[in-house]
Amino acid sequence: MSIFINNDTKVVVQGLTGEQGKFHALRNRDYGTKVVAGTRPGKGGESVEGIPIYNTVEEAVDATGANTAMTFVPPPFAKDAVLEAAYAGCDLIVCITEGIPAKDEAEMYDILKENTSSRLLGPNCPGLISPGKSNVGIMPHEITIEGNVGVVSRSGTLTYQAVLELTNLNIGQSTCIGIGGDPVPGTSFIDVLDAFQNDPQTEAIVMIGEIGGSAEEEAAEFIKKNVTKPVVSYIAGLTAPPGKKMGHAGAIVSGNKGTASAKIEALTDAGANVVKNPTRIGQAIKDVV
Q: Give the dihedral sign, CA 184/263/261/232.
A: negative
Does residue 160 carry a pLDDT above 50?
yes
**Are 10-121 and 140-288 in the same CATH fold?**
yes
**Pairing mode, strands 47-48 and 51-54:** antiparallel
Would you name the residues annotated as active-site residues?
A: 248
Homologous superfamily in CATH for domain 10-121: NAD(P)-binding Rossmann-like Domain (3.40.50.720)
The per-residue pLDDT for range 204-240, each reduced to its tens digit, is 999 999 988 889 999 999 999 999 999 999 999 775 6
CATH topology of domain 140-288: Rossmann fold (3.40.50)
The per-residue pLDDT for range 29-47, each reduced to its tens digit, is 999 999 999 999 999 999 9
Alpha helices in 70-128 (DSSP H): 75-87, 102-115
Q: Using CA atoms, how far apart are residues 148 and 201, in angstroms rounded to an integer?
A: 6
Give 3-state DSSP helix, strand, coil % of the chain, rounded to 5.
35, 25, 40
> Domain map of the chain by residue range?
10-121, 140-288
List CB contacts of 53: < 8 A, sequence separation 6 or more.
16, 17, 37, 38, 39, 40, 43, 44, 45, 46, 47
Strand partners, 257: 254
Residue 198 is predicted with a pLDDT of 98
State the pTM of this model. 0.94
Instruction: Calculate ∠ Cα 144-187-263, nearest 5°.
Output: 85
The per-residue pLDDT for range 100-151, each reduced to its tens digit, is 999 999 999 999 999 999 999 999 999 999 999 999 999 999 999 999 999 9
